[in-house]
Amino acid sequence: MSERLQNKAQLADGPGRLTSRTGNLLHRYRGLLAIAGLLILPIVVNQPYYREIIGLIFLWSAMAGAWNIVGGYAGKFSLGHAAFFGVGAYTSAVLYTRLGVSPWIGILAGMVISVLLALFIGVVTLRLKGKFIALVYLRSITGGSEGLSIPFKPGLLNLTFSSKLVWVYIFCGLMLSVYGISRWLERSKLGYELIALREDEDAAEALGVNTLWAKLASISLSAALTSLGGSLFAQYFAWLEPNFCLSLGLSIQFALFAIIGGMGTAIGPILGAALITPLQIFLRAFGGTATSGLSMAVYGLILILVVLFMPKGIVVEVGDRLRQMFGRGRFRPIPS
Amino acid sequence: MNKIILIQLLVSSLLIGGVYALISIGLTLIFGVMRIVNFAHGEFLMLAMFACYWMVELTGLSPYVTVPFVVLLLFLFGVIIYVLIIRRTVGSPMVVQIFATVGLSLFMENMALVLWSGDYRTIGSFASSAGFSVAGIQVNYALFIAFLVAITVSLLLFAFVAWTYPGKAIRATVQDRTAAQLMGINIDKVFLLTFAIGSGLVGIAGALLAPSYAIFPTVGTNFVLAAFVVVVLGGMGSMTGALIGGLLIGLIETFSGFFIAPELKQAFYFIVFILVLVFRPAGLMGQRGAEEIGLK
């Protein structure tokens, strides 16, 4: 990351002063390079443990990115995104285990249900101009505490693979898709409308933005992506627990990654997840059940510190500092 | 339908409703004055219950003797949290206000898990199961005491806000923050006092609930879910609303639990919550628009 920033900082001095031609090439193809790096990374890291961590980082970045569409761009903070995740996970898993429906269809079914749920919640809560969506309450409808396990039958049709590597790439693809969607959103009419209504809902409406439509579109998009992630998660772990999949903790985690990385930026959620996921896994590895709460407690502490002292997120704040140090760069997230 | 059963259900719902009201009044007071939703309210309740538990465990006192100490403790805890965290969030963007207390909630719940483990603990008290009966109606001592205290404390709080100088300062701040400041009211002190009183109230609730409920790190979430519905139902920021809302939720919970299924009570909260949001977003006693800016 810092390398990229420095590259940009160099460029910022103007093309005429750029001494290295390779630097220019690097900069032009940085997107391709980043993707190539992401694709090679799981092959280079051949220990299953670290590979799994990388896969999880990809998955959680994607989920944080999906949260960011509503929370970051539209400024509607949801504390119930785990509901969409759980709907995705359970829809595909239940259809597959009980009725033998291919997970591919289950994924679509989960996304449809999640979007319907999102529209329902959206129509109900977004009517309020109040700024938080108390989706918290959602988790209560789907009670029951039975776990659900998915039988291991490898195959493309069953969306079950014996190789973890395939999963790492699937999660990588998911993350890149969410990133791509976010970048597209930033330049689309919908994206501008969302940012306008985040900054001042009444003003946006007065200027002709159909705020209800924009909000519903963003929450549906976000819910569908979250549901997709949930279904994939279910197929990957082959074991579901409502205590996890529908928990408030998970909802907060999605938000946390995005906030720590930088809300309203496409890259923020990815960096947030990359920063926090390893921390979480190492904290868990430290203690047994006695300290299982420790990682969540640390999350809480980090969340408090970040919102109090770096409210724009680590990425944006550090980016700002670097920009000050190296002159103006092109690293400019949408101001919030 | 037996008449006795009906009256019994009414009495039970009033008792539990009083407790909900007590928890909700602190929440709604803080919201009404500071326009900050304390998402860690449930964890404050949990802390109060644990405080009561440890005082009883270590000293062998009756849980009811510990009430003043628990209230004092929570009051001071509220002061500390205000100074460390909440003060910095006043006037900040929404994301800061929401996620600072969400983070606090996460932190407290999991620190409790680390320190005191996830075991269910109970205070062996005379009142936990004992009760008295009036004309065939069973009344649980612990809940009865909690109900009486809830009503008394609510009335005292109304009196405090209505007639004392700090109470008037609080009301002035609610009506117009800037004007209050121009009149020489120290807003920071008002907020500090409000937050501490809100915490103290939840301290009372925690100490009174400790004898009748199992105590564990996530206990707060169960109650605060109801409290949020109560606050939205009553109208955010309205203390009378919280009292009435608490009693109503008690009714809904007891009757749905008896006639339909006790496991579904949270689903019923949710339905009530949605219905209120759809038909009367300002709540029963709230003013239109109050859900956003917190008028009273």
Over residues A303-325, mean pLDDT? 81
pLDDT band at A265; cut points 50, 70, 90: confident
> Which residues, including other chains, have CB under 8 Å from residue B161's CB and lie 6 or more apart?
B167, B170, B171, B239
> For residue B232, which residues of chain A lie inside 8 Å, CB to CB?
134
The pLDDT assigned to A203 comes to 87
> Using the 8-state DSSP alphabet, how is residue A241 labeled?
-
**Predicted pLDDT of residue A61:** 93
Which chain A residues are within 8 Å of B263, Cβ to Cβ? 143
CB contact at 8 A, A227 and A84:
yes
Q: Which two tokens stand for residue A133?
A: 């969506």
Identity of residue B248 = L
pLDDT digits (tens, 9 = 90+) for A205-246: 888 888 888 888 998 999 999 999 999 988 888 777 766 666
Q: Name every chain A residue with its beta carbon within 8 A of the beta carbon of B110.
A: 293-297, 299-300
Chain A positions touching B94 (Cβ under 8 A) are: 75, 77, 131-132
Residue A122 and residue A78 in contact, taking contact as beta carbons nearer than 8 Å: no
- DSSP letter at A143? -
In angstroms, rounded to a whole number, what is the distance separating the alpha carbons of residues B110 and A263?
Answer: 25
Cβ-contact A228, A63 below 8 angstroms: no
**pTM for this model (two decimals):** 0.80
Confidence of residue A291 (pLDDT cuts 50, 70, 90): low
- For residue A157, what pLDDT is reported? 65
- Report the pLDDT averaged over residues A8-14: 45
**Cβ of residue B111 closer than 8 Å to a chain A Cβ:** yes
Question: Is B273–A134 a contact, with Cβ atoms under 8 angstroms apart?
Answer: yes
Read off the pLDDT band of B82 (50, 70, 90): very high
Record: contact A311-B98, CB cut-off 8 A: no
- The H or E element spanning position B141 is helix B141-163
Question: What stretches of A68-117 adopt beta strand conformation (E)?
Answer: 77-78
First to last CA, chain A: 22
Give the Å distances, CA to CA, from B186 to A158, A191, B81, B157: 65, 42, 19, 21
Q: Do B229 and A137 touch (CB under 8 A)?
A: yes
Residue B36 in this model has a pLDDT that exceeds 70:
yes
Which residues does chain B have within 8 Å of residue A297's beta carbon, measured at their own beta carbons?
106-107, 110-111, 113-114
Highest mean pLDDT among A189-193, B59-63, B224-228, B290-294: A189-193
Strand ranges in chain A using DSSP code E only, listed in sequence order: 77-78, 132-133, 148-149, 239-240
Q: Which residues of A touch B (CB under 8 A)?
A: 75, 77, 79, 124-125, 127-132, 134, 136-138, 140-141, 143, 248-249, 252, 255-256, 259, 263, 290-297, 299-304, 307-308, 311, 336
A161: which 2 tokens? 């693979």
DSSP H/E element including B131: strand B131-134
DSSP, collapsed to helix, strand or coil, labels residue B30 as helix
Residue A299 to residue B106, Cβ atoms within 8 A: yes
Contact A300 B95 (CB under 8 A): no
**Contact indicator for A85, A230 with CB cutoff of 8 Å:** yes
Mind telling me how many Å the CA of A193 is from chain B's nearest CA? Answer: 19
Q: What radius of gyration, in Å, describes the C-alpha atoms of chain B?
A: 19
Question: What's the mean per-residue pLDDT of chain A?
Answer: 77
CA distances from B226 to A140, A178, A234, B42, B221 (A): 11, 36, 31, 10, 9
Contact A136 B291 (CB under 8 A): no
CA distance A116 to chain B (A): 16
How does residue A5 score in pLDDT terms, banded at 50, 70 and 90?
very low
Which of the pair, A191 or A79, is modelled with greater confidence? A191
Q: Are A239 and A150 in contact (CB under 8 A)?
A: yes
For residue B293, pLDDT beyond 50: no
Q: Determine contact: B50 vs chain A, CB below 8 A.
A: no
Looking at residue B215, what DSSP letter applies? B
In chain B, % of residues over pLDDT 70: 91
The Cα–Cα gap between B223 and B42 comes to 7
Of A229, A190, A185, nearest in space to A61 by CA: A229
Q: What pLDDT does B49 receive?
A: 93
- Flag whether residue B219 sits within 8 Å of chain A, measured between CB atoms: no
Q: Is the pLDDT of residue B176 over 90?
A: no
Closest partner residue to B103 (CB to CB) among A136, A138, A303 is A303
Give the CA distances from residue B280 to residues B79, B251, B291, B295, in Å, rounded to whole numbers and listed in that order: 34, 20, 10, 15
Each residue of B188-229: pLDDT tens digit? 999 999 999 999 999 999 988 888 888 888 888 878 878 888
ipTM surpassing 0.85, yes or no?
Answer: no
Tell me which amino acid residue B80 is: I
Concatenating the DSSP letter of every residue in A161-182 gives: -S-HHHHHHHHHHHHHHHHHHH
Comparing B6-15, B245-254, B286-295, which segment has the lowest mean pLDDT?
A: B286-295
The torsion defined by the Cα of B255, B259, B260 and B261, in degrees rounded to 10, comes to: 80
pLDDT, position A6? 47
Averaged over A304-314, what is the pLDDT? 85
Interface test with B, best of A120, A140, A142 (most B CBs within 10 A): A140
Which pLDDT does position B295 carry in this prediction? 34
Q: Cα-atom radius of gyration of chain A, to the nearest Å?
A: 20
For the cut 50, the answer to whether the pLDDT of residue B290 exceeds it is no
d(CA A14, CA A154): 54
- CB contacts of A143 in chain B (<8 Å) are 263-264, 266-267
Averaged pLDDT for residues B265-280 = 74
SS3 call for B134: strand
pLDDT value at residue A336:
46
Q: What is the mean pLDDT of residues A79-93?
A: 84
Averaged pLDDT, A320-325: 76
Interface A:B, Cβ pairs < 8 A? 126
- Across the interface, whether the CB atoms of B114 and A143 are under 8 A apart is answered no
Both structure tokens of B236: 């955010």
Show the 3-state SS of A197-218.
Answer: HHHCHHHHHHCCCCHHHHHHHH
Three-class SS of residue A313? coil
User: For the segment A100-156, what is each residue's pLDDT rounded down to a tens digit?
Assistant: 888 888 889 989 999 998 888 777 766 554 434 444 444 444 444 456 677 666 666
Say how far residue A101 (Cα) sits from the centre of its chain.
27
From B111, B112, B277, residue closest to A128, measured CB to CB: B277
Q: What is the mean pLDDT of residues B274-293?
A: 63
CB distance A92 to A231 below 8 Å:
yes
Q: Is the pLDDT of residue B272 over 60?
A: yes
When pLDDT is averaged across residues A186-211 and rounded to a whole number, the result is 87
DSSP string, B152-168: HHHHHHHHHHHHSHHHH
Report the pLDDT value the prediction gives residue A135, as an integer from 0 to 100.
Answer: 43
3-state secondary structure of B133: strand
Q: Encode B116-152: b = buried (16+ Cβ within 10 Å), e = exposed.
A: beeeebebebebbeeeeeeeebebbbbbbbbbebbbe
